[in-house]
Amino acid sequence: MAKTSGNDDTGQALAERIAALIADTAHNAPRSLQKRLGPSEVGDPCERRLSYKELDWPRSAAEGDPAASIIGTGFHTWMEEAFTRRQTTLPDGRPRYKIEERVTVQPSPIEAAVVSGSTDLFDRLTGTVWDWKLVGHTTQDKYRRGGPGPQYRIQAHLYGLGQENAGETVERVAICFVARYHELRVHVWTEPYDRAVAEQALARLGRIRAHLITAEAAASGYDHTWWSQIPTSELAKCRFCEWFKPGATDLSVGCPGINADRPARHGFESLIA
């Protein structure tokens, strides 16, 4: 629920109308309505959340505050324009930068099984896949000290695979964390591109998808007992999950999260082995 205020009754009514317009526009944007898993989600450490998403399970959580995503979208647009202005041509005649171009990470004759997305930037001169992240300064400090975590790292290598599938020579992946702060703070995490990281994540996704369509799954009616066998992770970001329902006792309705009385059953590493 947005926080609104006005200097009088008319101002309050206008504030509520504008807040509702902003929220409705954000929640009905193509990115928000996307049902197919994208590269940013494949590496989610929580297998249960991925399973809910794959089955298009009814959401149990209220739609989140859209402010951060709106600001992030605006920043991505700004970076797109910045690199478009700086576009140059390589000696072979190709443009140096591929900017916000869609790539296919995992093709499939089944539309729902395709994994594709838009790479923020690919620099052909250095062979580097770039991804922009606009974050709070405390979050930036966390990534600076401990790295980007498995989900972001996998996302970067998946985009690397997408560019490789598009015929590009990929050398490195890089994530640029820019802090929302009163001064410019930029942290870049980077490492050599490793196709195996992407393939391992896609193989894990394949195992998750296969489990969802077994005869046992169908016979269970996807009830609480069946859902309880799908692990969460200590690395799960529950407060951002559309199926997070604190206190839930029926997993077919919602997940109580990893801080519930029943602890997470597995960590991320065990899911991709």
> How do residues 3-42 score in pLDDT, each as one tens digit?
888 888 898 898 888 888 888 888 776 654 456 789 999 9
Q: Which is more confident, 22 or 202?
A: 202
pTM as predicted: 0.86
pLDDT of 57 higher than 70: yes
Would you state the pLDDT for residue 261? 44
- In the block, tokens 């609104």 appear at 4
Provide the pLDDT confidence category of residue 221 given band limits of 50, 70 and 90.
very high
pLDDT of 126 higher than 80: yes
Q: What is the C-alpha separation between 273 and 262, in angstroms, rounded?
A: 24
Closest CA to 226 of 205, 247, 252: 252
Q: What is the C-alpha separation between 170 and 162, in angstroms, rounded?
A: 10
Which strands form 128-136's sheet, in the order they lie side by side? 97-106, 115-123, 128-136, 172-180, 186-192
